[in-house]
Amino acid sequence: MAEELKDNMQPEISNAPEAPAEAVVEAPAEAVVEAAVAAPAAAATTVVAAAEAVAEKKAEEAKIADEAAKAAKKAEEQAAKEAEKAKIAAEKEAEKARKAAEKEAEKQRIAQEKAAAKAEKKRQKMEAEQALINACPPQYKPVSTSKYFWFGFLSFLPCIGLIFTIICSFAGRNRNVKRFERAILAYYIIGIILCLIAVIVVGLILPPDKRAEILYALDEILYSVGL
């Protein structure tokens, strides 16, 4: 069986064309040269691709850095604007406070000047009045309100009031006191006249029963006031 297979293969082998030795040798050499030429080209392509990738990465990093720098610059400008606004607002508030303080100080100064002028005017008035009082003769000197009050109080006391009024009306040294006491004496005289008229009317005109009632009422009134 083996011999038959060998015999069948031999004609095929013997019929195959024989390649020259040089062709056999040259074919691997060309492949090696092509491989040697292709390897640096592939390496160069890889290096170029890597360089391009690095360049793209650097460009992207530069772009990011540029955007960051722009953002930082923008933030710095915004902060500067805010600081300028705050400075202007502070200056306005300070100016407003200064004007308000000046206005208040001016107002206080005017009020003090008015008060001083008023006090000076009052002092001058009092000095002028005192000068007039000093220039008056003793019998014409003005009488204070408190003296008028006590003169009136003593003049209207029961029993002794009339006597005090008569004495001051005629024996007083000050003319103003005399006029005041004479006015009170006029009230006394009018009262006495009215009382006399009432007594005459009650005693002469009214009937006895009415007169008795009126006298009884007067007695009760006088008793109630302690007279």
Question: Does the pLDDT value for residue 114 go beyond 80?
Answer: yes
Average pLDDT over residues 49-69: 83
CB 201 within 8 A of CB 168: no
Q: State the DSSP code for 54.
A: H
Torsion angle defined by CA atoms of residues 37, 42, 43 and 44, in that order, rounded to the nearest 10 degrees: 90
pLDDT digit string (tens) for 43-54?
667 777 777 888
pLDDT of res. 12:
45
Indicate the range of 13-27, 87-101, 202-216 predicted with least confidence.
Answer: 13-27
Backbone angles phi, psi at 167, to 5 degrees: -65, -50
Nearest Cα residue to 138 out of 185, 102, 176: 176
Ramachandran category for residue 133: left, alpha or beta (phi over 0 → left; psi -120 to 50 → alpha) = alpha
- For residue 155, how many other CB atoms are within 10 A of its CB? 23
pLDDT of res. 216:
78
pLDDT of res. 20:
47
CB 203 within 8 A of CB 214: no
pLDDT bin (cut points 50, 70, 90) of residue 2 is very low
In percent, the amount of the chain with pLDDT more than 90 equals 26
Ramachandran category for residue 123: left, alpha or beta (phi over 0 → left; psi -120 to 50 → alpha) = alpha
pLDDT bin (cut points 50, 70, 90) of residue 35 is low
Question: Does the pLDDT value for residue 127 go beyond 70?
Answer: yes
**What distance in Å separates the CA atoms of residue 133 and residue 168, rounded to the nearest whole number?**
22
**What distance in Å separates the CA atoms of residue 164 and residue 160, rounded to the nearest whole number?**
6
30 token code pair:
């060309």
47 token code pair:
């290096």
pLDDT bin (cut points 50, 70, 90) of residue 213 is confident
Q: What is the pTM of this model?
A: 0.42
Q: State the DSSP code for 136.
A: S
Average pLDDT over residues 102-120: 92
pLDDT bin (cut points 50, 70, 90) of residue 23 is very low
Average pLDDT over residues 70-75: 88
**What distance in Å separates the CA atoms of residue 147 and residue 170, rounded to the nearest whole number?**
18
pLDDT bin (cut points 50, 70, 90) of residue 111 is very high
pLDDT digit string (tens) for 154-175?
998 888 888 999 998 888 788 8
Nearest Cα residue to 178 out of 187, 169, 167: 169
pLDDT digit string (tens) for 185-212?
999 999 999 988 877 777 777 777 777 7
Question: Does the pLDDT value for residue 22 go beyond 50?
Answer: no
**What distance in Å separates the CA atoms of residue 136 and residue 138, rounded to the nearest whole number?**
6
Nearest Cα residue to 150 out of 172, 181, 171: 181
Q: How would DSSP label each residue in 63-117?
A: HHHHHHHHHHHHHHHHHHHHHHHHHHHHHHHHHHHHHHHHHHHHHHHHHHHHHHH
Q: Residue 206: in which H helix or E strand, if any?
A: none
pLDDT of res. 21:
45
pLDDT of res. 187:
92
